[in-house]
A and B are shown apart, each in its own frame.
Chain A
Amino acid sequence: MIYLDNAATTKASQAAIDSMIKYAGEDFYNPSAGYAPALAVKKALGKATADIAELLGADSDEIVFTSCATESNNFAFECGVKNKKGNIVVSAGEHASVYESALRLKSRGADVRFVMPDGNGVVTAEALAQVVDGSTAFVSLIHCSNETGAVSDIKALCAAVKSVSPKAVFHSDGVQAFCKIPTDVHDLGVDLYSVSAHKVGGLKGVGALYVRKGFNMQPFIVGGGQQNGRRSGTENTGGIIGFAEAAKIYKNKAAAFDAKALREAVMNVFDGHDGVRINGRGANSGYILSVSFKGLRGEIIAHMAEDEGVLVGLGSACSTHIKSNRVLGAMGVDRDYAEGSIRISFSPDTTKEEAVKGARVILEAARRLGDTVNG
């Protein structure tokens, strides 16, 4: 089986699995308790927090762990908007958890503005300048697109927003960027930044939100006052500690992994074929490749590829994933192509051989489907 859906989730690293077993088993103690075994867990949690902070270029007290990046993004929208009368800016190519959060604010009466990505899926400063003004209160732009891998220059975009609206809060969804491309949050200048564990070899059920020091943010979840009152609920100790271990391993592997070269090799399989479109040829993390096949259904191609032992994600498909069309649609991809999209995504463990083989299987599946559908 060739797994090419790493943007959906990655195989958990053994370190993450071991941590979960250790902190669910022998070290099961609640880190908020006062006895010695619990204090040891608390200390390990502190070390994990420091590790994640370091990977993000942040300080430990700027990290809030959550149950997932969707929670982190919801947290940012629910508690990060300071000026309730100001406008909200998001890109039309955001992950659903950001997009839906923005729509919820809109339904409550907020002035929500959408910035369109360019044809490569990148948000440009020029496009952003058309919607940001002195009243902009909150901006959320995805760092690396979960659909196409397109990378926007968050540092420049953040600076551009702050120059027009100095008090604007800048949030970025960094789930697909973390450990893959530089994500030094202090350097980026963002106020809030969301990440997820299971995209980098951690377990599902753990995310984090970077909250810039000095940015006063009310908690989204209240209760026992864990994490200095910023996110109540007993910490997922095994998950968080495993997240830190997995992320360190992932980042080391990523440093030795030429994702862009791999993506290029896979693109070469598709290039030159009629009715095949690569969605996003601009700045890219290299970890995601979105390919569309004119007049076909991505879902069917994915099923056919699965029958040949290749697992891929869907950029968009039949009604099941209709919302995914939004991102490609925002990039100007015709519906004829958008509905026939496949998302191929890699991890540092993906070999060139299997990626290219997988791409050939997909291309052949699309050819067969095209023959059937178009006679």
Chain B
Amino acid sequence: MDNVIILRYSEIHLKGKNRAFFENILKNNILAKLSGIDCRAEFSYGRYVVCDYAASDEAVIVKRLKQVFGLFSLSKAKRTSSEPDDIFEAAKEICPAGGTFRVTVNRADKTLPYTSVWLASEIGGRLLSFNAALSVDLHDPQSSVFIDVRDRATAYVYSASEPCAGGMPVGSAGRGLTLLSGGIDSPVSTYMMAKRGLKLTALHFWSYPYTSMEARDKVIELAGILSAYTGEMKVLVVPFTKIQEAIHKYAESNYMITLVRRAMMRIAERVAEKYRCQCIINGEDLGQVASQTMESITVTNAVVRNLPVFRPLIGYDKIDIVDYAQKIGTYGVSIKPFEDCCTVFLPDSPVTKPTLRRCEINESKIENYDSLIDEAVDNLEVFVVPGK
């Protein structure tokens, strides 16, 4: 009898002929996640098992596997032969100390000399004799003992399943460019799109000396937290100061934020194409701030010509985004007091209903606008955040 971890994947089982494509990516992601730990992964049709690990490594293996998108749940199990005596020995170890229980058997190998019902009854009976504090409740048990008999040599015995991250394997949906600020929202939108299978590259706009070194380091730190889910992630830091100064100098002050965001989206599309990203992701949430009204989103979206812009948080309440950020572990870093945008550039009353025409008029006043965009793209710094 040995300890194993059974893995179950999520939506992949809905796939048809391209199922192997998703499975292969998931397998590679699992192996990458377990690198550095002495263990083995077995991949058979519809069932993945991690085995041959030291008991002391089990907790860290489970923790890591729960960060792999594409896995639905896992169970810490005992692996034995199909012999009822062996199965009972395993069941003894995982059965609860008391209360009601039931035994559920799945028997894949129909050539075995017993039925599922017989095995459930046999093991249940032996457990009742073994522990007088147990009683059977088939309909609403406090705990269950699951027995999955695969073949004559192999049966898995486990008590519970633990939820994993769900979603689709990272890399199975292509590559996206996520706009990552130091705030609460964009790390959540990054997480959500990685969960849908995107391999991500992050883009950060840095306005030193108007913001600090710490503001940039904070974004790298956020990427480090997210990398537990996304795997290795490049963080591209764009020097944004000159553009911000130029907009401040030439444009109407109440259009400052709108024009800054249009410049960001222009740069994002250029960078996305350069880094072969197929979409842009941002953390916009309808109505949250002046720059996220329908009209503001319309005029910022208008500068993106060829790529889709995904806004996974568009319908979320702020409180739900905060909950999400806390769950994925980015919230504590996001609330560190290093701002992305210095208040010297913030207008007293930013426009909430900007028009495309006024945006274009303002931008036409900015000297060397296109070359400033080129310069920002050409001078970005690349930080590689390794996968955790």
Contacts and interface: CB of A to CB of B under 8 A. Distances in A.
Nearest to A319: B337
Contacts of B212: 299, 303, 320
B344 A297 contact: yes
A318 B342 contact: yes
A364 B209 CA distance: 15
Q: Which of B209, B249, B337, B339 has the most CB of A within 10 A?
A: B209
Contacts of B342: 297, 299-300, 318
Contact of A320 (B208, B210, B245, B337): B337
B104 to A, nearest CB: 56
B209 A372 contact: no
Nearest to A339: B343
A319 B342 CA distance: 10
B88 interface: no
B343 A318 contact: yes
B344 A300 contact: yes
A372 B339 contact: no
Contact of A319 (B210, B339, B344): B339
Interface string A304-336: 101100000000001110000000000000000
Interface in B210-224: 210, 212, 214
Interface string B69-95: 000000000000000000000000000
Contacts of A214: none
B208 A373 contact: no
A318 B339 contact: yes
Contacts of B214: 320
Contact of B209 (A300, A319, A320, A373): A300
B221 to A, nearest CB: 16
Q: Which of A299, A303, A306, A318 has the most CB of B within 10 A?
A: A318
B255 to A, nearest CB: 15
B33 interface: no
Nearest to B241: A372
A319 B212 CA distance: 12
Contacts of A375: 248-249
Contacts of B245: 372
B338 interface: yes
B338 A373 contact: no
Contacts of B343: 297, 318
Contacts of A373: 248, 344
Interface string B335-370: 001110011100000000000000000000000000
A372 B248 contact: yes
B5 to A, nearest CB: 44
Given A297-B342, A319-B337, A303 B249 contact: no
Contacts of A318: 339, 342-343
A127 B245 CA distance: 46
Contacts of A303: 208-210, 212
Nearest to A307: B209
Contacts of B209: 300, 303-304, 306-307
A353 to B, nearest CB: 25
Nearest to A299: B212
Nearest to B209: A303
Contacts of A307: 209
B215 to A, nearest CB: 9
Interface string B314-342: 00000000000000000000000111001
26 contacts: A297-B210, A297-B343, A297-B344, A299-B212, A299-B342, A300-B210, A300-B342, A300-B344, A303-B209, A304-B209, A306-B209, A307-B209, A318-B342, A318-B343, A319-B337, A319-B339, A320-B212, A320-B214, A320-B337, A320-B338, A320-B339, A372-B245, A372-B249, A373-B248, A375-B248, A375-B249
